[in-house]
Chain A
């Protein structure tokens, strides 16, 4: 499954912001912890140093234990003055009656989540032990972290929303460009509109346009080459065939047969060449420039070409004088020509050929013949696929029709049998009505 740039960008940005926030919280926590330790330690130290001289002066020679009476209050700091042998000499209201079990040497001690500071007298006979209430520092840090982290519950979804909205907005141009490109068929080489493109996509849009322009020129050259080649080939073949027509009048028997064969071969050469060039033009996108085309006019022009044949009567029926469809006049001409030629070639001797156009832009060409087996329907639309090998033909007529109709955004269908007694062939082209 393909990932979406927008989704990826959204997830990455939100995760990044979350990690950043958490990083900041941990850094702040570390600083707070460091600073509070410094402050608390200093206050423990200061308190001890302040109490020690007072204790020394106050203590009587019998050095009995003194309990200092105070009213009840929250004591974050408590203290004891302990003798050299560990006996309790003085204690504050919040301090326990037993001496703190701390080493009697100057310094800080953390015992069971409680911080102590021990300050000895200069003669080491007395020690002042200052104790913080248990977990005081931890709860201070916890409170600080909680007040720092609490806004995250609101900030994270809000940031996500802002990121989603910004990504979606920034992505709009990319989505529009992608949609415009994907809505085109493979022959649509019109330049993209770059007016609304942001600076970052402008270069891409202009590069695509330049590529399409080069491709369009290449295809145009290919089409023109095919058109001009057809023209250049036809004139000498026409001269050769006309000379044979004249020669035939002076010949008889075997010589006449040979002249007729030569003309037939020339005619086949011309037909095959023209078909191959038509296919080349179709594949180079003969219907690149789609515009409204009067289907009736095109059908009528092709119909005129066949009206002097003495093999099949051809009937052109149209619902209206003007039926405009989307296409290219020459490309639609090639479609009608190939379908009519196909009908003409495969129709039963003396059978009528019907060319029908309805107001919805559908062209039907119907002829009587043996029905084409269903399993061959796919093959006859392929290049060089023929239903009846005994008939002369290039076998690429329907492939040309298929290619051009797709370029015109139309549909090409075949119905066989389409007449009573399991007979007939109907080619249906549904053009896009304008």
Chain B
């Protein structure tokens, strides 16, 4: 899962970014709207955490602009304004939810997961994909009720691959979900993470489709 966090307070941006990365998200942080626009032009995101008051413009106007341009990803607005009218304005501008500063980062995470699930059409946090169960809010992969321990990046890959069972996910999409803009992408780093996941869940569950990408097969027959 790749998120864009737009916040002009560097310390808050830094803390939110680190916290979300530790919980399996790939995070790009933008200190202003100009940077946010350029990130959105060059990379795809699964969600945006957007501050309302930014030095080069109003977050709500930016959100309206994005929605008008056809953006269909979850957006949560962060606001220091606690007035009901501000929140209603945020929702009317196209926000899916809002958090009032100061907030618990746990709460931000819970709200993001809830909104993401809503977008992916899963009302409950547990999704069955073949022999696996995906716990999106807990960011856990389970088989027969037992958790398969994954790192943040491994979880990000599994989450992206399991959104549509048997669908081929292009390599570029996976790389985008896996790496932030400022990280170095080694040519084989995606393959390295896929290989590690295969070792944990069985290589038959992630199929390489040459020249196209990868496919998750939850109901593949185990080899042993």
Contact = CB atoms under 8 A, between A and B. Distances in A.
Contacts of A238: 9, 12, 80, 101-103
A267 B100 CA distance: 13
A243 B12 CA distance: 7
A243 B15 contact: yes
A195 B168 CA distance: 76
Interface stretch (A29-37, A299-307, A378-386): A299-307
Nearest to A237: B102
A330 B83 CA distance: 5
B107 A308 contact: yes
B22 interface: yes
A297 B53 CA distance: 24
A357 to B, nearest CB: 15
Interface string A301-317: 11011001000000000
Given A242-B16, A242-B105, A304-B97, A333 B110 contact: no
Nearest to B102: A238
B19 A246 contact: yes
B66 to A, nearest CB: 22
Interface string B65-98: 0000000000000001111110110010000010
B181 interface: no
Tell me the dominant secondary structure on chain A's binding face.
helix
A239 B82 contact: no
A230 interface: yes
A330 B18 CA distance: 34
Contact of A330 (B12, B84, B103, B104): B84
B87 A236 contact: no
Given A301-B88, A332-B84, A245 B102 contact: no
A165 to B, nearest CB: 53
Given A231-B81, A301-B91, A305-B100, 12 more contacts: A227-B83, A236-B9, A238-B9, A238-B80, A240-B11, A242-B16, A246-B15, A270-B102, A274-B82, A304-B97, A308-B111, A332-B84
A77 interface: no
A167 interface: no
Given A238-B12, A333-B83, A249 B105 contact: no
Nearest to B53: A231
A243 B18 CA distance: 9
A153 to B, nearest CB: 72
Q: Indicate the member of A231, A266, A267 with the most B CB atoms within 10 Å.
A: A231
Contact of A245 (B19, B53, B81, B101): B19
B16 to A, nearest CB: 6
Contact of A242 (B15, B22, B82, B83): B15
A298 B102 CA distance: 21
Contact of B15 (A227, A230, A245, A274): A245
Contacts, number: 86
Nearest to A298: B84
Contact of A246 (B18, B81, B84, B103): B18
Contact of A301 (B84, B104, B105, B111): B84
A48 interface: no
A235 B79 CA distance: 9
Contact of B84 (A239, A240, A249, A333): A333
Given A305-B100, A308-B110, A308-B111, A239 B15 contact: yes
18 contacts: A230-B80, A230-B82, A231-B81, A232-B80, A234-B100, A235-B12, A236-B9, A240-B11, A240-B102, A241-B102, A241-B104, A242-B19, A245-B106, A301-B88, A304-B97, A329-B85, A329-B88, A332-B84
Interface in A80-131: none
Question: Which 10 A-B residue pairings sit nearest by Cβ, starting from the closest?
Answer: A333-B84, A242-B15, A238-B102, A238-B101, A239-B12, A234-B80, A239-B11, A245-B105, A330-B83, A231-B80
Contacts of B15: 239, 242-243, 245-246
A226 to B, nearest CB: 11
Interface string B2-22: 000000010110111011001
Nearest to B110: A308
Interface in A161-182: none
A389 to B, nearest CB: 25
B82 A235 contact: no
Contacts of B83: 227, 330, 333
Contacts of A243: 11, 14-15
A232 B9 CA distance: 12
B54 to A, nearest CB: 12
Nearest to A309: B107
Interface string A224-265: 000100111011111111110110010000000000000000
B22 A249 contact: yes
A236 B11 CA distance: 9
A205 B12 CA distance: 53
Nearest to B11: A239
A3 B107 CA distance: 65
A231 B91 CA distance: 19
A235 B22 contact: no
A235 B53 CA distance: 11
A227 B81 CA distance: 8
B87 A301 contact: yes
Contacts of B97: 304
Contacts of B102: 234, 237-238, 240-242, 266-267, 270
Contacts of B9: 235-236, 238-239
Contacts of A305: 100
A305 B79 CA distance: 12
Contacts of B87: 301
